[in-house]
Structure 1
Amino acid sequence: MENRIHNSYLASKVMSADQAAAQILPGMTVGMSGFTGSGYPKAVPLALAAQIESAHARGESFALKLLTGASTAPELDGALAKVGGIDFRLPYQSDPDLRTRINRGEIEYMDIHLGQVAQYTWFGFLGKLDMAVVEVSAILPDGRLVPSTSVGNNKTWLDLADKVIIEVNSAQPAGLDGMHDIYYGTALPPERKPIPLTGPDDRIGEPYLRVDPAKVVAVVETHGPDRLGRFSPPDESSIQIANHLVEFFRHEIAMGRLGEQLLPLQSGVGNIANAVLSGLRDGGFEGLTAFTEVIQDGMLDLIRTDTIRRASATALSLSPEGVEEFGRNIEHYRSRIVLRPQEISNHAELVRRLGCIAINGMVEADIYGNVNSTHVAGSSIINGIGGSGDFARNGFLSCFVTPSTAKNGAISCIVPMVSHVDHTEHDVAVVVTEQGLADLRGLSPKQRARAVINNCAHPDYRPLLQDYFERALRASPGKHTPHLLGEALSWHERFVASGHMKP
């Protein structure tokens, strides 16, 4: 194993994952690293899950309040959820076992904007942070930490936790050293000062994380890859969505509202996002920038070809093939990628200043432009709002994308009224499906409804939506936002009862 621990005092804290996990006690609030499957601790959570399972077998109560950057991996969220080791979780999750237990009411879950987690912790809204468990790629001789493939909330966890466990993962590329920018200039109100970042590639901090050595109770050596999924090739629907957006951007350039290099891009996670990024490359754009949360394969490909010349994020979320490409050409990427804490990557001040173009997925939109990003039938959580709201409310353009139907046409993703609201109509500028694009800027509710129905709804559902809207107009003439309250959620009720939204 390559030695990555160059500080003698912290080297004296090296122990096994079992020994380290034993220092995490029932009822603790624990902040762990990890953001969309990268940079999470690989060994301590598994050891902790085994210890929790043994405690439960002895009839002892053992569960934690668990905070992270975003979703992690089966070795963390899944392992702890399976043994009943989590009683509270925030902010974003994607593990099936964790999701199931949340929706069964066994785990309390707080869905929160990713840009707010650090400040909520600093404000004391989440209580005292007892322990931090953070993966890094190396420890320097002076005790500073070289961050891993994600930064997330690690700075906050290290600063505020009473005790710290560090996992040093020698499987992470040594070339990550120098890719990070950790800003230590934030402060609590009323002492806050403007954050001095005016371009996506500005460096305003330092490359390393700090930790008080006196708080470090364990250092664990690991050697394991991030658990990351593969992305499917873009399907026809995703390609059509991408084409609609590229055409829209070209129109905005022609109207003088955007320049040829657009504005800094923010792109959510998933196959549609990758398709949109590929569409920008195929559409002839170049010299672009990104100020986003996650760099996926699609964005990495644009950075490789210099279609995107600079990108800022808080995490790398790459397929196994993307990880190999990143490792092979890490010198190229290190000069073009900056990884920051998510309190900076998702900061409202910076998103507004830079004028980001936000492109995020959704579960459904209603005819007035309200968006549901998180729930099925209004009650069951899927993953969480993530950072989409940080960018939608504060960006130059907020675009939400989805296929017009789901489950082989049983679900319309354009509905009379969303069953859960994550993004209100006031924060949604553009809705896109494979059917077309609705530009909602400058429109009244009734004008928005016509644009969404005519441009975004699937032909199988468009007549039903037109009928609903026309009857709502007749039933409440002159009303600002016409609805038939007895029918507004009937589509969802029908789906729950019969498995299909169509009557």
Structure 2
Amino acid sequence: MSAAEAAALIPAGANVGMSGFTGSGHPKLVPQALATRIEAEHAAGRPFQVNVWTGASTAPELDGALARVGGMRQRLPFQSDPVCRDRINAGEVDYLDIHLSHVAQQAWFGFLGPLHVAVIEVLGILPDGRLIPSAAVGNNKTWLDIADKVILEVNSLPPAEMEGMHDIYYGTAIPPRRLPINLTQPIERIGEPYLRVDPAKVIAVVPTHHGDRDTAFAQPDAVSNQIAAHIIDFLAHEVKVGRLPRNMLPLQSGVGNVANAVLAGLLDGPFDDLLGFTEVLQDGMLELIKRGKMAAASATAISLSRPALQEFTDNIAFYRERIVLRPQEISNHPELVRRLGVIAMNAMIEADIYGNINSTHLMGSGMMNGIGGSGDFARNGYLSFFVTPSVAKGGAVSCIVPMVSHVDHTEHDTQIIVTEQGLADLRGLSPRQRAQVIIDKCAHPDWRPLLQDYFDRARSQGAQHTPHLLGEALSWHQRCLETGSMRA
């Protein structure tokens, strides 16, 4: 049927599980048709909103379309759309910012309520009813399993040769029946290539021929290249002293230009036969595979720029042998991250002098995107890097502050902080030791004396374990809200 006919089957107030993870694999037409329907309902004076669950961020055709017409009441677990973000920060959308590894299990536990409808993009339907997954697996397996009703968008545009690239694990269970997941190498296959669905639940099949969101990655700038160089030098040292094997351990890289710069830096680094165990495979990791520096990679989604997508499509047989796509409850599973010894690299908004990390909020209150999978990897990785430029807004804002305005990752989960100024290895350090290393290594020279002054005056108050001046700790943020700059 048409997208409009399918959208008409979604009731007001429904919990709707959509496919999609970081701009790929999301339904393209049904969400837009639903937005058109909601807009007409509102024009007629009838309230109509739905609660939207996904794997991670989607695209303007989904988050943007529904947010623009006031069609979302609740959103989880991650988003990056500017319209959706504005609605969240205006208090018009209730946003549940959840660790990505926790979403499927919370849905299974019943913590989120019933899932009334799932809208899932697939590449095809086999004669026996099994489904060929698309460029993102995300939470699709769980949505198909627990939804009361299912709408399928069958997208004929992505290369059909992606069939067989997926590994869908059906061995998860609710405690106390949960068993260990038998994955010991990043690219082992422990499941099957297809998604399952009860045909009796499928209420609509909508044909589409539309591409995923183009992910534009800027070329690494000087700051990103400096951050990458610090990380690569550190990893080389860890190999030299015997704490890492020569081919390192599996790599996880968060989304964004800095992360891609680090991966680009590995192209000329001293490491070979690398492996990836990550959430999203982006341009940098694809290039590592293409150039033979990375042997293979596991992810839950592929999100590429247009040139990289063309490279992937033109050489799909090559990449199908080297890339495996899994549900995010596997790609982000904390126990697997710890078992495999993943090296995690994730971006942050700011860090404080003791190593607490804010990766989600601007000035303490404004949601940016969400925690995503960074917590899954940071707490459980063998090594965990948090990266950021040392300043923002042309130097008016320091990204190293006395106290973060919002905490996503506590000092207990932070091993290594990197800016273009340097790298702070916090392993084995007490709070006071951490503070001095962060100030010396990561703060911008324009802000370093102010941070040192704050730390010195806080210490002079007495023998506190974690010295702070509570009357000043957030004064930099308050000043920025009032004047646009953290400077006095």
- Give the match for residue 177 of structure 1: 163
Matches within 5 A, 1:121-140: 121-140=107-126
Counterpart Cα distance in 2 of 1:293 and 1:479: 40
Q: How many residues align?
A: 488
Match of 1:483 among 468, 472, 483: 468
How far apart, in 2, do the equivalents of 1:323 and 1:281 lie? 19
For 1:496, the aligned partner's letter is L
Q: Report the TM-score, using the length of structure 1 for normalisation.
A: 0.97
Distance 1:499 1:81 in 2: 28
Matched, 1:276 2:276: no
Q: Which residue of 2 aligns with 1:3?
A: none
Choose which of 352, 371, 376 in structure 1 pairs with 2:338. Answer: 352
Please say if residues 236 and 270 of structure 2, whose CA atoms lie closer than 8 Å, have aligned partners that are also in contact: no
Distance 1:431 1:114 in 2: 22
Tell me which amino acid in the other structure corresponds to 1:128.
P
TM-score by length of 2: 1.00
Instruction: Give the aligned CA root-mean-square deviation in angstroms.
Output: 0.5
The answer to whether structure 1 residue 96 and structure 2 residue 82 are counterparts is: yes
Partners of 1:248 and 1:500 lie apart in 2 by 33
Give the match for residue 430 of structure 1: 416
Match among 468, 477, 483 for residue 492 of structure 1: 477
In 2, Cα distance between equivalents of 1:467 and 1:249: 32
For structure 2, the residue ranges without an aligned partner over 5 or more in a row are none
Indicate the residue corresponding to 1:212 in structure 2. Answer: 198
Partners of 1:175 and 1:428 lie apart in 2 by 41
CA distance, structure 2, for counterparts of residue 378 and residue 308 of structure 1 = 39
List per-residue Cα deviations over 1:466-485 (Å, max 9, x = no partner).
0000000001x211000000
Structure 1 segments unaligned to the other structure (5+ residues):
1-14
Correspondence for 2:15 among 29, 32, 38 = 29
Cα distance in 1 for partners of 2:263, 2:271 equals 10
Q: Work out the percentage of aligned pairs sharing the same amino acid.
A: 68
Q: State the shift of 1:311 in Å.
A: 0.2
Q: CA deviation at 1:43?
A: 0.5
SS in 2 for 1:282: coil
| Segment drifting more, 425-434 vs 222-231 | 222-231
SS in 2 for 1:129: coil
Opposite residue 499 of structure 1, the aligned amino acid is G
1:372-387 map, 5 Å: 372-387=358-373
Q: What SS class does the counterpart of residue 408 from structure 1 fall into?
A: helix
Counterpart residue type for residue 379 of structure 1: S
Residue in 2 that maps onto 1:257: 243
CA distance in 1, matches of 2:159, 2:440: 50
SS in 2 for 1:495: helix
Match of 2:214 among 179, 204, 228: 228
Cα displacement (A) at 1:141: 1.1
1:350-396 per-position Cα deviation (integer Å, ceiling 9, x unaligned)? 00100100000000000000000000000000000000000000110
Number of the residue aligned with 1:266: 252
Residue 286 of structure 1 aligns with which residue? 272
Q: What is the CA–CA distance in structure 2 between the aligned matches of 1:29 and 1:252, rounded to whole Å? A: 47
1:51 aligns with 2:37: yes
What does residue 7 of structure 1 align with?
none
Task: Give distance in 2, aligned partners of 1:236 and 1:349.
Answer: 36
Equivalence for 1:329: 315
Contact map agreement 2:18 2:52 (CA 8 A) in 1:
yes
State yes or no: 1:318 paired with 2:304: yes
Q: Does 1:404 align with 2:428?
A: no
Of 149, 158, 168, which aligns to 1:163?
Answer: 149
Secondary structure of the residue aligned to 1:344 is helix
> Match for 1:486: what amino acid?
G
Residue 310 of structure 1 and its aligned partner are, at CA, apart by: 1.1
Distance 2:290 2:99 in 1: 30
How many angstroms does 1:202 deviate by?
Answer: 0.5
**Mapped partners of 1:60, 1:32: distance in 2:** 24
Give the equivalent residue in structure 2 for 1:501.
486
Question: Could you report, residue by residue, the CA deviation over 1:332-351 in whole angstroms, capped at 9, with x for unpaired residues?
Answer: 10000000000000001100
